Structure 1
Amino acid sequence: MLIYRILSTILFIISLPVYAAVRKIEGKSFGWKEKFGDFDAPDLGDKVIMFHGVSVGEVIALENLIKKTKETFPNYKIVVTTGTKTGQEIAHKKYDNIADFITYFPFDITFCVEKFLNKIKPSVVLIAETELWPTFAAYCHNKNIPLFVINGRISDATFKSYRFLKGFFKELFKNYTEILTQSEEDKNKFIQIGAPESKTQVMKNLKFDVKRISADIEIGKGSNRIIIAGSTHKGEDEIVLTTFTKLKKDFPDIKLLIAPRHLTRLNEVKSLTEKTGLKFGQRSNNDTFENNEIIILDTMGELSKMYQICDFAFIGGSFNKTGGHNPLEAIVYDKPAISGPSIHNFRDIYWILGRSKAGKVVKTPQELTNYMAKLLSDKEFYAQACEDCKTVFASQQGAMEFVIDRLKNIL
């Protein structure tokens, strides 16, 4: 590890001018001062719990855990770090009223890490998924700061390359208090690349700690089957509306609830809906499916609870470059979820869902139409998909309490 720290520092200093120039040209020279440890931190005291999520998906996954931690340990300050600009934006959006300080994770270079830890003084550090930083880990170990990997996972591609560096990782993992993984498969991967078996446990997946929202929803469902298109982005409404119009010819009992991600696009969505020739209404006007084929959900904060009335859902942000939205908001109600090909914010979730019929990733609008038709026409297939939603949730819940129990043991 000492050799790594010396060589990485030398290489970092040598390559810094070129790296800085490239990042500036690419428009990605964000958070540099903070990553060098050059920031003004508030007086956090000596009771600090630090969470790190590198980007959007990891930051979102930590949400319920951070809230529960704040509730369970009210005397501790909460610090949240990220590695990307988008992660930082999401962290501020979600945690400004919860966290005591939000900043960037330091470059894994001796002087950057030392400055960072001297300012934050964490009592414990929890790092989400597969962020393994040797210098940071060594400094935590030397300062007797408990360091955890939580929600740990290793992709097949990463595992193939990491296993050739088992000697390196074996030394690295000596600096960690525990490696807490999403699955037995991930646990075995960590052990095979050098993690001590005694320190590596399965905690399940934080992203599955989603709760149902009980609510009476008056929307005139009747005996109709409802498809929800949730959090749609520009370009996706046309896909959904075209698909629905085609399906309506063969399945006259279906209705569509379409929920644009951004209500600033409401007029655009209304215009597109008008072109279908189908009668539609708006949730804000208390319109129902009793006399409409399509309802536009144009109210704030209702989408999550609406999933309970649907038969299945299309999750938006997945036919563009957004990276998808959380399919578990539908799955928690035992409703199968479908997404387009852009799912990088929830790739691990779809990997789990895709092993059953609970979730489906389609590559094209035509494939979306075909899969929806399958759910509508094949009763046995649909029933199994709903049952798989229950099974997946039952197998994955409990991760948040697992981590809270670990924190209780050391704080």
Structure 2
Amino acid sequence: MRSLLLRLYGVFTTVVQPLVRRKLRRRAEAEPGYGVAVEERFGHYDEAITGQAQCWVHAVSLGETRAAAILIAELRRQYPGVPILLTHGTATGREEGAKLLEPGDTQVWQPWDTPGAVARFLDRFQPRIGVLMETEVWPEMTAACAERRIPLVLANARLNEKSLAAAERLAWLARPAYSALTAVWAQTEADAHRLVSLGAKVAGIYGNLKFDATPDARQLATASSLRERLPKPMVVLASSRDGEERMLLEVLKRFGATSPVPPEQGAIRSISKRVHDVQWMIVPRHPQRFDEVAALIEAEGFAVARRSTAGQPAEAEIWLGDSLGEMALYYGLADVALLGGSFEPLGGQNLIEPAACGCPVVMGPSTFNFAEAAQLSLAAGASLRVEGMEQAVTAALKLVENPERRAAMAQAALAFSSSNRGAAERTAAAVLAIAQAAEPVTAQGAPVEEAEPARAEPTLD
């Protein structure tokens, strides 16, 4: 029987549905993807959408979807034809997820966490197992799956100290939700300890799925070809977050990147020349900020060339990587990457991706999203940590001017990446074992008799 607090939570999420709809309409004005199939978020589906007894994978946003892509590929390798139900919470996640679909797969929005929307979702799709990626644990969904005996697992699970503190403030919701999960596979031992403190059943420490990603070979080949034509070495601020672009531009201006320096200021002229001798590039983390960052670059007095309009590298002080799905190209072009999200207190973006491309990384002080990976990367000699953006620019310039050290860091990055693989194989095997042991259920949650599978469409029987 559900607790009074969980029932009150269900009342609250139902009451605020009009506000959720309003927020979605506003987001859709800037990002049209949020206006697509809005009713799916409330459990109402087009009749053409079919699919049951699937392996449901929920990846809320872009980063989680890229991790899910690695897991889904391994699931298909171990169980060919496994049908996938893919859900998301953000427009970028849904757009990226659409690239993963094969015949027999289904893609819809994750339902808003109300009793009605969740029930309609589970009635419609009756997943054989649910796989939540990284951090997405919702109280109503976990309770409903437990009542219906649908296994619900948390894969590639991570939980930093900040998120743990927030969960503990809402322990009356968080603890029942985490304890209702069938199994949790943590990225690191520290993540596992924090998850256990919330009642999660941690079944293994499997590492980070993102280590199993293979960079796009065509993009790396294109980058190799373009590098031969670049007149300067390149430094990229990769997956930058709001505030970090301005930091970089202000440092470059302070170092004299936009104005000539009088000859008598010899030391300043020296750093100015070093900055001018590098091609700088910014790749924002979120596509909705591409235009904003382009305007900022121009407002700060720099000439900008955009990937979306220039295509090939153009003459400009700053290049703007305003495209999705081309990070391997950008890392392949770069001699050094400055890690976005680490110069503001945001926990850092994915440092595994540049490592897999053999790109040395300079990171700021904030890397709590990838704390263990950051420490391993530093210990392997694949990255450097600095206190702020000015020190990052200085460190990048030193690496640009020291080809031997840069090459050593590139090799260390590749070794660091390859030595931490294996999470996908372990996770997929565990998911399939639980799914195949689970009883199929009806829309109301009762077990059903299994007949010999006709397999007109593959299911997890």
1:92–1:102 CA contact under 8 A, matched in 2 = no
1:206 paired to 2:209: yes
Amino acid at match of 1:402: R
Paired with 2:256 and 2:361, the residues of 1 have a C-alpha distance of 16
In the TM superposition, 1:230-309 aligns within 5 A as 245=257, 251=274, 255-256=278-279, 258=281, 304-305=328-329, 307-308=331-332
Paired with 1:264 and 1:193, the residues of 2 have a C-alpha distance of 41
3-state SS of the aligned residue for 2:81?
A: coil
1:203–1:399 CA contact under 8 A, matched in 2 = yes
Paired with 1:337 and 1:9, the residues of 2 have a C-alpha distance of 45
Amino acid at match of 1:210: A
Alpha carbons of 1:298 and 1:384: their partners in 2 closer, same or farther (altered >3 Å)?
A: closer
Equivalent residue for 1:348? 369
**Per-residue deviation at 1:200?**
2.4
**Per-residue deviation at 1:116?**
0.8
Equivalent residue for 1:189? 194
**Per-residue deviation at 1:48?**
0.9
TM-score calculated relative to the size of structure 2: 0.64
Paired with 2:76 and 2:386, the residues of 1 have a C-alpha distance of 39
2:113–2:138 CA contact under 8 A, matched in 1 = yes
Equivalent residue for 1:389? 413
1:169–1:193 CA contact under 8 A, matched in 2 = yes
Alpha carbons of 1:362 and 1:63: their partners in 2 closer, same or farther (altered >3 Å)?
A: farther
Alpha carbons of 1:244 and 1:219: their partners in 2 closer, same or farther (altered >3 Å)?
A: farther
**Per-residue deviation at 1:328?**
3.4
Equivalent residue for 1:2? 2
In the TM superposition, 1:12-411 aligns within 5 A as 12-13=13-14, 16=15, 20-21=18-19, 24=22, 27=26, 33-40=39-46, 42=48, 44-70=50-76, 72-83=78-89, 87-96=90-99, 98=101, 100-162=105-167, 171-196=176-201, 199-212=202-215, 213=217, 215=221, 217=225, 219-220=227-228, 226-228=234-236, 245=257, 251=274, 255-256=278-279, 258=281, 304-305=328-329, 307-308=331-332, 310-314=334-338, 326-338=350-362, 348-349=369-370, 352-353=373-374, 356-357=377-378, 358-359=382-383, 365-376=389-400, 386=410, 389-390=413-414, 392-394=416-418, 396-409=420-433, 410=436, 411=460
Paired with 1:299 and 1:179, the residues of 2 have a C-alpha distance of 36
Higher relative contact order (CA 8 A, sep 6+): 2
**Per-residue deviation at 1:109?**
2.9
3-state SS of the aligned residue for 1:102?
A: strand
Alpha carbons of 1:6 and 1:238: their partners in 2 closer, same or farther (altered >3 Å)?
A: closer
Paired with 2:357 and 2:408, the residues of 1 have a C-alpha distance of 14
Paired with 1:229 and 1:63, the residues of 2 have a C-alpha distance of 25
Structure 1, 181-190 or 55-64: larger mean CA deviation: 55-64
Q: How many residues end up aligned between the 2 structures?
A: 391
Alpha carbons of 1:293 and 1:59: their partners in 2 closer, same or farther (altered >3 Å)?
A: closer
1:193-223 Cα offsets, whole Å, 9 max, x none, are: 2223xx4211211222222436353643899
2:335–2:400 CA contact under 8 A, matched in 1 = no
1:350–1:361 CA contact under 8 A, matched in 2 = no
**Per-residue deviation at 1:52?**
1.0
Amino acid at match of 2:134: E
3-state SS of the aligned residue for 2:153?
A: strand
3-state SS of the aligned residue for 2:337?
A: strand
3-state SS of the aligned residue for 1:54?
A: coil
**Per-residue deviation at 1:111?**
2.4
Paired with 1:219 and 1:297, the residues of 2 have a C-alpha distance of 17
Amino acid at match of 1:353: A
Taking only the aligned residue pairs, the percentage that are identical comes to 22
**Per-residue deviation at 1:2?**
0.7
2:188–2:372 CA contact under 8 A, matched in 1 = no
1:301-360 Cα offsets, whole Å, 9 max, x none, are: 87625634643124579899999875433221332224689x9xx962377326753456
Where does structure 1 lack aligned partners over 5 or more consecutive residues? 277-281
Paired with 1:21 and 1:222, the residues of 2 have a C-alpha distance of 50
Alpha carbons of 1:201 and 1:299: their partners in 2 closer, same or farther (altered >3 Å)?
A: closer
CA-based RMSD of the aligned residues comes to 5.0
Alpha carbons of 1:178 and 1:241: their partners in 2 closer, same or farther (altered >3 Å)?
A: same
Paired with 2:167 and 2:179, the residues of 1 have a C-alpha distance of 16
